[in-house]
Amino acid sequence: MTQKAHRDYQDGFAGRIGWGKRPALLLVDVCNAYWNDASPLDTKSNPASAAAPASIAKLVSAARQGKTPLIWTRVEYTKPDMSDAGLFYSKVPLLKLFQVGCGNGLESWYPGLEPAAGEVVVPKRYPSAFFGTDLAAQLHSCNVDTVIICGVSTSGCVRATALDAMCHQFRPMVVGEACGDLSPAVHKANLSDINAKMADVVSEDEAIQKLQAGWD
């Protein structure tokens, strides 16, 4: 895309949603499968994705410090024939890695990034953490108005979750440094498009400040 075409594309887009007063940290698929040499979904070849777990760890620490709610989401399938993955499985056969009890260890939380006692865990079956789950109800019941989103992949589950967060009237803030994808180009392009249409892409420093501050 030329610079002029990019400017034309951005015209009328990329407004700011802005922060609310009651944020929660929403972690999307922070699983071993995305940062493991033995996994076909390993994203460490992309330097931005390889650095994402360290950024996510900073966000988790800040949220716990500020007593800001943390919600962990990850894909889980329980049917032996993967029928609970629906058409998503037809498109992405590698989803079998996330079958509960498959024994590969790749469906587990990334080492050092695990839910603490009392933190909410929401299993999901599709890209969006909102689709087919009670995530929106849980957030509404806690009076959350802003979701700070991190995890993988930028072009898939992060993007889908950011879109649905906006559609559910939560203010989605996507932390670019804390997201990952296999391709640097796809990661960068999707952050640009997410920021243009469905969420505010914010810096790690800004997100940490909001998480540490907690709720008024």
How far is Cα 167 from Cα 161, in angstroms, rounded to an integer? 10
CA distance readout (Å), 77 to 44, 82, 83, 101, 130: 25, 7, 9, 9, 16
How far is Cα 214 from Cα 106, in angstroms, rounded to an integer? 32
Kind of pairing between the strands at 200-202 and 70-75: unpaired
How far is Cα 18 from Cα 93, in angstroms, rounded to an integer? 38
Cβ atoms of residues 173 and 149 within 8 Å: yes
CA angle 185, 186, 192 (to 5 degrees): 90
Annotated catalytic residues are 157
Q: Quote the tokens at residue 87.
A: 């058409």
Strand partners, 201: 174
